[in-house]
Amino acid sequence: MTQQFDALVIGAGFSGIYMTYKLREQGFTVKTLEKAAGVGGVWYFARYPGARCDSDSVYYNYIFSEELYKKWSWSTRFAGQDEILSYLNFAADELDVKKYMQFNTEVKKAEWDEEEAIWSVTTDGGEEFTATYLISGVGCLSTSNIPNFEGRDSFKGESYHTGTWPHTPVDFKGKRVGVIGTGSSGVQSIPVIAQEAKEVYVFQRTPQYSVPTRNRVFTEEEIAQFKAEFLEAREIMKTSPSGLPIPRSSKSVVDTPEAERNAIMEDAWEKGGMILNNAFYDIVTNPESNELVSEFLRTKIREKIKKPDIVEQLLPYYYYSTKRPILDTNYWETYNEDHVTLVNLREQPIVRITENGIQTSEQEYPLDIIVFATGYDAMTGTLLKLDIRGRDGISLKDKWADGAKVETYLGLGIAGFPNFFTITGPQSPSVLTNVPTAIEQHVEWISDCLVHLREQKARTIEPNREAEERWSKQCTEIANSTLFTKTDSWYTGSNIEGKPRGFLIYLGGLDNYRQICNEVVENGYQGFEMQFEEVKA
Ligand code: NA7
C-alpha cells in the first residue's frame, strides 16, 4: 500500500535529521528514508581506523539551538567518527525525529506525477511512497569509488573501502597491508594501520600536503568557555565565508613581508587544524602566493622524512589547498618506520590486482589485506544513482547528460524537477565550508519555502531555466578565476574515470551565498516559477 506524506527526505545524516525536525516543527507530515540501519550518513559508514573530522569539533555540530548545543560536550578538539556518530544519535533523540525515519531502506526511483503534482518513490524493498515534496539529504561524499583495476575481484585476501568499513574491527596484527590512496582517508588511516600491521605498503599516485591535526583532549574549563561564547561564535559562523568563526582574512601571502608571513605560517603549523588554510585570502587565487605556502609545507615534509630515498617522492607539486586540505597525526613519521614502504605509482603504476596482492609495472606486492582509500564519486554520484525522473519522465541523468552538464539553481533546485530540493547540492557552497553550517542554511531556506508555498496555496515550485543557466555560469566563472580548476581532484570530478570535468561547488563563500538566497526570497522567490491550485468555480 502506498504511504502518503507532505514531504519525503532521503538520508538521515546531518541534513536529514535537521530537515525532518524542521518539517515536523512546521506541521508537515514527513518520512525520512535511510539506507543505513541508523542515523549518521557518511559518519555511519566511514568507520575506518583513524577516521576523524577536520573541522574543530565545537563547530562541527548544529548551531540552530542554543539548548541543544549546550547539552553536548565534545571530548577532543577534532572528533573521531565514533563520537560524531554518537552526537548525531544524541541530536536525533533530543529532536525526537527517529520515529519519522525508516532505516534499511534505499530509494531506488523517484518519479514526478504531473497530473497529481506528487512524487512517487520506490524503495529497494519494493515499498511505494508519495509526497508533495522530495528533499535530498544524500550528502556530497556518499558513493564510494573503487577504481576498476583489472582482476579487482580475484584477490583472495580481505579488502575494504574506507567509506564502507565493516562494523566489526579489522584485525591488522601480523598482516601485510596495502593501502591505495593518500587523500584524507589514506593519510588518517595509514599511521593507525601501521601500529598493528606487520608490513604496510602505501600505493601513492599523488603526494599530498598535510598539516598536523594537533588533536587534544579538552579541559572542563575549555568546554565551559565554548558554551559561554557560543552565541558570539554562532554570529560569526553565520556571517563568515567558511561557516567557521573565522572572519575573512585581510592578508595576502605575497604582500605580507617575509618575516611576518613566515611567522603566520609557523604559528598556523604549530596550532594545527585548518588555520593555515584560512590565514590568507589569496592562497587559491594567486599562483605566487600559493607557491610560497606550498614550499613552506614541502620544507616541513623534508624535515620530517628520515629516509632520503623517498623524500622527493613525497613532495607535492599541485597548488596547495586545491585538493581538500588534509590534517594528519604522525603521517610523515610513519614513513620513517622500517615496516612501511612507499610505492610510487607515478614510477610503477598498478597493472592489476592478483590473487595474492597488487601487481605494479615493477613487481608483485603480496598482501593479506587491501585497503581502498580511493575516495568518492562526489557531489553528483549519489544523486545520479537515485534515478530521479522529473517532468515528462526526463531523468536527472538525461538532464545532466550523465554529469557532463550539471546545472542547478543555487544548488537548491533543478529546472524540470518541481518540488524537489537538494540540501548541499551541486553548485552550493557545501564541502568548501564547515558543512553543518551550510546544511542549516539550506534546511531553513527549504523549510521557509515550503511554509510560503502552503500559505500561497502554490501547487509547485521550480527554478526557471534562465536562473539555472545564470547561476551555473556564475559558479563556473568564479571557479575559473581560482586555481581550483587547475588541479585534478574530486572537486572537479577528475578522480572518477569517465566523469566529465567541471566544478560543482559555489566558491563565493557561505556569507555571500546566504545573502543571495535571502535576496531571492525577498524578491518573491526570484528565479523560481510557482504554479497555483486552480480556483474551482
Ligand atoms: P580522496 O581525497 O578522493 O583521495 C583518494 C585517493 O585515492 C587519492 O590519493 C587518489 O589519488 C587515490 N586514487 C584514486 N583512484 C586511484 C587509482 N585509480 N589509482 C591509484 N590511486 C587512486 O578521498 P578520501 O576518501 O581520502 O577523502 C575524501 C574526503 O573525505 C576528504 O577530502 C574529506 O573531505 C573527507 P589522486 O590524488 O587522485 O592521484
Distance 182 CA to ligand 1 centre (A): 6
Distance 400 CA to ligand 1 centre (A): 24
Domain residues of the chain, as ranges?
A: 3-143+377-526, 176-209+249-372
Q: What is the pLDDT of residue 213?
A: 98
C-alpha cell at 406: 550539471
Q: What is the pLDDT of residue 535?
A: 54
Residue nearest to atom 2 of ligand 1 (CA): 183
Q: Which sign does the torsion angle of CA 278, 280, 282, 283 carry?
A: negative
Residue 402 DSSP label: G
Q: Which residues, 6 or more positions from 257, have their beta carbon under 8 angstroms from its beta carbon?
A: none
Q: Which residue has the cell 573503487?
A: 146
C-alpha cell at 188: 588518517
Is the CB of residue 24 less than 8 Å from the CB of residue 30? Answer: yes
Helix axis angle, 81-94 to 14-25, nearest 10°: 10
Q: Which atom of ligand 1 has the smallest separation from the CA of 147?
A: 18
3-state secondary structure 57-71: HHHCCCCCCHHHHHH
Name the residue of 14, 322, 374, 494 to mutate for ligand 1: max ligand atoms within 8 A of Cβ: 374
Q: Phi, psi at residue 295, to the nearest 5°?
A: -70, -35
* Pick from 498, 436, 488, 428: nearest CA to 183: 488
Q: How far is the C-alpha of 395 from the C-alpha of 398, rounded, in Å?
A: 5
Name the residue of 348, 495, 501, 505 to mutate for ligand 1: max ligand atoms within 8 A of Cβ: 495
Distance 373 CA to ligand 1 centre (A): 6
Q: Where are the beta strands (DSSP E) in 415-457?
A: 420-422
* Pick from 232, 285, 214: nearest CA to 255: 285
3-state secondary structure 23-81: HHHCCCCEEEECCCCCCCCHHHHCCCCCCECCCCHHHCCCCCCHHHHHHCCCCECCCEH
Answer whether 142 contacts ligand 1 (Cβ < 6 A): no
Per-residue pLDDT tens listing for the chain (537 residues)? 899 999 999 999 999 999 999 999 999 999 999 999 999 999 999 999 999 999 999 999 999 999 999 999 999 999 999 999 999 999 999 999 999 999 999 999 999 999 999 999 999 999 999 999 999 999 999 999 999 999 999 999 999 999 999 999 999 999 999 999 999 999 999 999 999 999 999 999 999 999 999 999 999 999 999 999 999 999 999 999 999 998 789 999 999 999 999 999 999 999 999 999 999 999 999 999 999 999 999 999 999 999 999 999 999 999 999 999 999 999 999 999 999 999 999 999 999 999 999 999 999 999 999 999 999 999 999 999 999 999 999 999 999 987 789 999 999 999 999 999 999 999 999 999 999 999 999 999 999 999 999 999 999 999 999 999 999 999 999 999 999 999 999 999 999 998 989 999 999 999 999 999 999 999 999 999 999 987 545
Distance 49 CA to ligand 1 centre (A): 16
Residue nearest to atom 4 of ligand 1 (CA): 183
Q: How far is the C-alpha of 105 from the C-alpha of 437, rounded, in Å?
A: 27
C-alpha cell at 68: 541543544
Q: Which atom of ligand 1 has the smallest separation from the CA of 345?
A: 20
Answer whether 186 contacts ligand 1 (Cβ < 6 A): yes
Q: Phi, psi at residue 309, to the nearest 5°?
A: -70, -15
Distance 430 CA to ligand 1 centre (A): 19
Q: How far is the C-alpha of 404 from the C-alpha of 402, rounded, in Å?
A: 6
- What does DSSP say about strands 528-532 and 458-463: parallel, antiparallel, or unpaired? antiparallel
Residue nearest to atom 18 of ligand 1 (CA): 147
Q: Phi, psi at residue 454, to the nearest 5°?
A: -65, -45
CA angle 162, 163, 169 (to 5 degrees): 55
- CATH of region 3-143+377-526: 3.50.50.60
Q: Which residue has the cell 518573491?
A: 524
Q: How far is the C-alpha of 122 from the C-alpha of 106, rounded, in Å?
A: 9
Q: Which residue has the cell 568548501?
A: 432
Strand partners, 144: 376
Strand partners, 350: 360
Distance 347 CA to ligand 1 centre (A): 18
Strand partners, 505: 428
Answer whether 345 contacts ligand 1 (Cβ < 6 A): yes
The tally of CA atoms less than 13 A away on the side-chain side of residue 432 is 26
Q: Which sign does the torsion angle of CA 488, 494, 496, 498 carry?
A: negative
Residue nearest to atom 23 of ligand 1 (CA): 375
Helix axis angle, 435-456 to 510-522, nearest 10°: 0
- What does DSSP say about strands 30-33 and 420-422: parallel, antiparallel, or unpaired? unpaired
Residue 476 DSSP label: H
Answer whether 324 contacts ligand 1 (Cβ < 6 A): yes
pTM of the model: 0.97
Answer whether 374 contacts ligand 1 (Cβ < 6 A): yes
Distance 99 CA to ligand 1 centre (A): 36
Distance 46 CA to ligand 1 centre (A): 14
Q: How far is the C-alpha of 385 from the C-alpha of 378, rounded, in Å?
A: 12
Q: How far is the C-alpha of 140 from the C-alpha of 378, rounded, in Å?
A: 5
Answer whether 139 contacts ligand 1 (Cβ < 6 A): no
Answer whether 180 contacts ligand 1 (Cβ < 6 A): yes
Residue type, 140: C
CA angle 529, 532, 534 (to 5 degrees): 150
